Structure 1
């Protein structure tokens, strides 16, 4: 059972590499946690996560050079792996 409201509202995004290593991203209202097999979790605030995303996107020439195993959409789940509906779009002020 989740310990806090933040954990209860967390969304998990998982993708396995061709070698079978699962990469997991946990997203809640304040943080993004990147978990790679064999490494400590990397905890980012949303601004840091957006900066990392922008760097990865440019460095890897996404989406033009994305490998076929990287699909267009990753279905979010809860902590137990149950699918969640798509996140509502962010509203700008």
Structure 2
């Protein structure tokens, strides 16, 4: 089929539908290629410098300590006996020298 507008498309509904389908498929392909390339905009390997605290993305709120439930505040940083036993099984050393 010719890439230009077919003169018979104005008279034949089937030809007009084929022309529309071809145009829609081309537009969808262009949109797909554009969307795939948009994901590659971030430079790879751009990690923050040591000591730099990464901020949460816009719309992602990180709670403050005072916003946590009291039980979580009380238990924060403490390990339970189950956690200590599990660490021993996995041979994980936390706060070791």
**TM-score grouping bracket, smaller chain normalisation:** under 0.3
The two structures have a TM-score, normalised by structure 2, of 0.21
The two structures have a TM-score, normalised by structure 1, of 0.21
The higher relative CO (CA closer than 8 Å, separation ≥ 6) is in 1
Higher helix share: 2
Larger Rg: 1 or 2?
2
